[in-house]
């Protein structure tokens, strides 16, 4: 049995997919106005573990992940660096894919760019205008949350506090963990001097950030998603917007399960580009950690709890992995022949892993359980058949964790 904490409803639920043939998942990808830091990769690695564990459990998975390559922050950063948006975003996308591979992340089946889904965004906006859920105002298009029944249900927004006075929010994103109680933008109409815009059926302009995910999802998935994932920050002013847009134009729920990963902190403060307290993968490599160890540090900890980066914390976490791997190497040293016979220790390893991972992807509990079992083994008394089966099971488990071998 596999259970997840579903943000929609705020409770743990037994997982079952919408489509029995394939588990369709969409995950929030990077905004490529800057390079992704290790805090971003914590979320991406949680999503990787999710996909790998579902496959380990026998499911076929189809996953989409978006690349946000056209938004206010991208335009601002390109202007600041005096380079084109294309040059800026392609460089960061190339770096992101390189580091995905370094960290042994499975490539998504679909990796669409927002800039390639403008036609879908326009179609969505036209639909919303036709049903009066969206409206024009001074050349832009805005979504009125009061026109969508149940708005804010994912976050749990108290709609009784919605202001009576009409307000419109014009930017793609706003800083801070707070709500903009008003209409949010769907389409940035062309303004004199704009460098980046499309010629479309609704005029010249560009889609806002909040309509981009729906445009990319609708391009690849035409049914309720089994799971939608992202970082906890996206519970503010993003995922409820995405949900409201898609469920306004489709006669079925957007996703059955919503999973959100908590932030990575650095010395007690949230790691973020805006704060400037960020670390990159290559910075940790220069400190002497290999990619398996970096991956382990970022996955070792429950995804719904924040983890803290410090030089001491990463050292302590990585030391645990190193001890574990030495124990496994010692067991491998006893490996003389292969056999398919089931053995008691191997069974315990599989059972412990499934129990912990099946309970809302408890990676820390699963690894610690494996660590205890491996530590208790009297290696010099292992028979060849037992050794072979233990290594076989550990390799199967490592298809999920990707840190042991």
Residues 197 and 316 occupy one common structural domain: no
Buried b (16+ CB within 10 A) or exposed e, 64-86: bbbbbbbbbbbbebbeeeeeebe
Predicted pLDDT at 333: 85
Instruction: Give the domain CATH number at 40.
Output: 3.40.50.620
Predicted pLDDT at 341: 41
Q: How far apart are CA 126 and CA 288, in angstroms?
A: 53
Residues 74 and 183 occupy one common structural domain: yes
Confidence check: pLDDT of 335 > 70: no
Considering only residues 372 and 336, tell me which one the structure prediction assigns the higher pLDDT.
372
- Concatenating the DSSP letter of every residue in 340-391 gives ----HHHHHHHHHHHHHHTBT--HHHHHHHHHHHHHH--GGG--HHHHHHHH
pLDDT digits (tens, 9 = 90+) for 289-305: 999 999 999 999 999 99
Which pTM value belongs to this model?
A: 0.94
In the predicted model, what is the mean pLDDT of residues 149-167? 95
Residues 317 and 255 occupy one common structural domain: no
Distances (CA, A) of 148 to 129, 145, 230, 402: 13, 5, 23, 43
In the predicted model, what is the mean pLDDT of residues 344-364? 96
Residues 102 and 202 occupy one common structural domain: yes
Domain stop point among 261, 289, 324: 261
Domain stop point among 197, 228, 261: 261
Total domains in the fold of the chain: 2
Residues 240 and 318 occupy one common structural domain: no
Nearest to 219 by CA among 112, 143, 63, 131: 112
Residues 249 and 319 occupy one common structural domain: no
The answer to whether position 202 is within a domain reads yes
Question: Domain of 347?
Answer: 311-401
Residue 339: pLDDT band with limits 50, 70, 90: very low
The answer to whether position 283 is within a domain reads no
Q: Is 217 left (phi over 0), alpha (psi -120 to 50) or beta?
A: alpha
Residues 241 and 324 occupy one common structural domain: no
pLDDT digits (tens, 9 = 90+) for 34-54: 999 999 999 999 999 999 999
The answer to whether position 358 is within a domain reads yes
């Amino acid at each position: 049995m596999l259970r997840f904490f579903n943000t929609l409803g705020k409770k743990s639920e037994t997982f079952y997919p919408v489509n029995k043939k394939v588990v369709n998942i969409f995950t929030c990808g990077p905004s490529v106005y800057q390079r992704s830091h290790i805090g971003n990769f914590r979320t991406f690695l949680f999503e990787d573990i999710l996909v790998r564990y579902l496959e380990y459990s026998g499911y076929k998975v189809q996953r989409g992940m978006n690349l946000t390559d056209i938004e206010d922050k991208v335009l601002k950063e390109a202007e600041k660096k005096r380079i084109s948006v294309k040059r800026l975003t392609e460089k960061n996308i190339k770096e992101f894919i390189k580091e995905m591979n370094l960290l042994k992340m499975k490539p998504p089946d679909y990796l669409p760019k927002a800039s390639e889904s403008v036609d879908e965004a326009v179609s969505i906006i036209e639909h919303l205008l036709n049903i009066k859920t969206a409206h024009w105002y001074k050349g832009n298009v805005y979504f009125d949350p009061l026109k969508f029944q149940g708005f804010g249900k994912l976050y749990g927004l108290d709609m009784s506090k919605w202001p009576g006075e009409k307000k419109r929010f014009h930017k793609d994103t706003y800083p801070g963990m707070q709500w903009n109680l008003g209409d949010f933008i769907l389409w940035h109409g062309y303004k004199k001097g704009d460098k980046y815009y499309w010629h479309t059926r609704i005029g010249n302009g560009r889609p806002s950030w909040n309509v981009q995910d729906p445009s990319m999802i609708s391009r690849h998935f035409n049914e309720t998603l089994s799971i939608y994932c992202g970082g906890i920050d996206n519970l503010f002013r993003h995922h409820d917007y995405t949900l409201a847009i898609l469920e306004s134009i489709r006669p079925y729920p957007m996703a059955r399960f919503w999973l959100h990963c908590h932030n990575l902190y650095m010395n007690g403060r949230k790691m973020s580009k805006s704060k400037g307290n960020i670390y990159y993968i290559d910075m940790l490599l220069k400190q002497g950690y290999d990619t398996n160890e970096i991956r382990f540090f970022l996955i070792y900890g429950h995804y719904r709890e924040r983890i803290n980066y410090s030089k001491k914390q990463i050292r302590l976490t990585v030391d645990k992995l190193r001890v574990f791997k030495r124990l496994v190497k010692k067991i491998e040293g006893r490996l003389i022949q292969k056999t398919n016979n089931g053995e008691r220790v191997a069974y315990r390893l599989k059972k412990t892993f499934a129990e912990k991972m099946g309970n809302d992807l408890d990676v820390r509990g699963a690894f610690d359980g494996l660590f205890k079992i491996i530590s208790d083994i009297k290696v010099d008394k292992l028979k060849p058949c037992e050794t072979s089966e233990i290594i076989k099971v550990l390799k199967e488990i490592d298809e999920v964790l990707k840190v042991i071998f």
